[in-house]
C-alpha cells in the first residue's frame, strides 16, 4: 500500500528531526572539545581554550586588503540601516497585528543570535563582520517567520507555480484552486497559530 502524502510528510519531518539532532550532538561534542561552556545562557571559553584560539588570530592588515573588498564595504555596511528598519517595523507589525489576532508572536531571540564575536581567533574586523552577518540573517529569518504566520492567518493557499525556497508552513497550505478545502480549513489554520503551531 502506497503511503499517503501526509504520511510521507510526517516521515520526512521525523528524518529531518533526526538529522538536526545528529548535527546538534556532533556540534556540541566539537564545541565541548574546543573548551566551550555555557554560563548564564552565554557561550564562554575556558581560559586555556581562549588562549589557544588567540594564537590563531590574524592581525589587521588593511593595507593588504584587496581593493574590491574595500570598494564593497560601504555597500555591505550600508545595509545596516535598512536591516534595523526592517527589524523595528516587523517587530511593531507583529506586536500590533498578532496581538489583535490573538496569535502567538515570534520570539526575536530565537532568530537574531549574535555570539560569534566572542571567538578568540577572530580579529576586530572579522568580529564586526560576524556581528553584521548574524544580525542580518537573523532579522531576515525573523521577518520571514512573521510573514509566514501572517500568510497562514490570511491566505494559506499554495501558488499555482513552483515556489523556490518556500517557508516551512507552506507545505501544509491548501492546493491552488481548492475552494472547498480553503473554506473548510481556514479556521483551523488560525486556531493552530493561536496554539503556537
Tens of pLDDT along 122-132? Answer: 999 899 999 99
Say what the pLDDT of residue 34 is: 80
Q: What's the pLDDT tens digit per position in 25-59? A: 898 888 888 888 888 888 888 788 888 888 888 88
**What does the pLDDT average to over 84-94?**
98
Question: 78 pLDDT exceeds 90?
Answer: yes
- For the chain, the maximum distance between any two Cα atoms, rounded to a whole number of angstroms, is 67
Per the model's pLDDT, the better-predicted residue between 39 and 103 turns out to be 103
**What does the pLDDT average to over 89-98?**
97
- Please provide residue 119's backbone torsions phi and psi, each rounded to the nearest 5 degrees: -75, 125
Say what the pLDDT of residue 1 is: 59
Question: 100 pLDDT exceeds 90?
Answer: yes
Measured CA to CA, the distance from residue 144 to residue 56 in angstroms comes to 36
Question: 172 pLDDT exceeds 90?
Answer: no
Query: How many CB atoms are closer than 10 A to CB 193?
Result: 20
Measured CA to CA, the distance from residue 95 to residue 140 in angstroms comes to 17
The DSSP element (H or E) to which 43 belongs, if any, is strand 42-45
Per the model's pLDDT, the better-predicted residue between 50 and 179 turns out to be 179
State the pLDDT confidence band at 185, using cuts at 50, 70 and 90: confident
DSSP for 98-122, written as a single string: HHHHT-PPP-GGGT----GGG-TTS
Question: Of 191, 96, 105, nearest to 153 (Cα)?
Answer: 191
Question: 111 pLDDT exceeds 90?
Answer: yes
Residues 175 and 158: beta-carbon distance below 8 Å: yes
**What does the pLDDT average to over 60-78?**
85
Say what the pLDDT of residue 161 is: 93
Say what the pLDDT of residue 60 is: 76
Q: 47 — alpha (psi -120 to 50), left (phi > 0) or beta?
A: alpha
Amino acid at each position: 500500500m502506497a503511503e499517503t502524502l501526509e504520511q510521507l510528510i510526517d516521515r520526512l519531518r521525523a528524518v529531518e528531526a533526526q538529522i538536526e539532532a545528529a548535527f546538534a550532538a556532533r556540534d556540541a561534542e566539537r564545541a565541548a572539545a574546543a573548551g566551550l561552556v555555557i554560563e548564564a545562557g552565554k557561550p564562554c571559553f575556558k581560559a586555556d581554550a581562549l588562549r589557544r584560539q588567540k594564537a590563531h588570530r590574524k592581525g589587521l592588515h588593511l593595507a593588504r586588503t584587496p581593493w574590491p573588498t574595500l570598494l564593497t564595504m560601504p555597500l555591505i555596511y550600508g545595509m545596516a540601516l535598512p536591516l534595523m528598519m526592517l527589524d523595528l517595523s516587523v517587530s511593531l507589525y507583529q506586536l500590533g497585528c498578532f496581538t489583535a489576532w490573538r496569535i502567538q508572536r515570534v520570539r526575536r531571540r530565537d532568530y537574531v543570535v549574535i555570539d560569534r564575536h566572542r571567538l578568540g581567533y577572530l580579529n576586530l574586523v572579522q568580529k564586526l563582520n560576524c556581528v553584521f552577518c548574524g544580525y542580518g540573517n537573523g532579522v531576515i529569518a525573523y521577518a520571514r517567520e512573521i510573514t509566514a504566520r501572517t500568510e497562514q492567518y490570511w491566505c494559506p493557499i499554495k501558488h499555482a507555480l513552483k515556489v523556490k525556497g518556500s517557508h516551512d508552513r507552506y507545505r501544509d497550505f491548501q492546493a491552488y484552486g481548492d475552494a472547498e478545502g480553503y473554506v473548510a480549513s481556514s479556521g483551523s489554520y488560525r486556531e493552530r497559530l493561536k496554539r503556537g503551531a
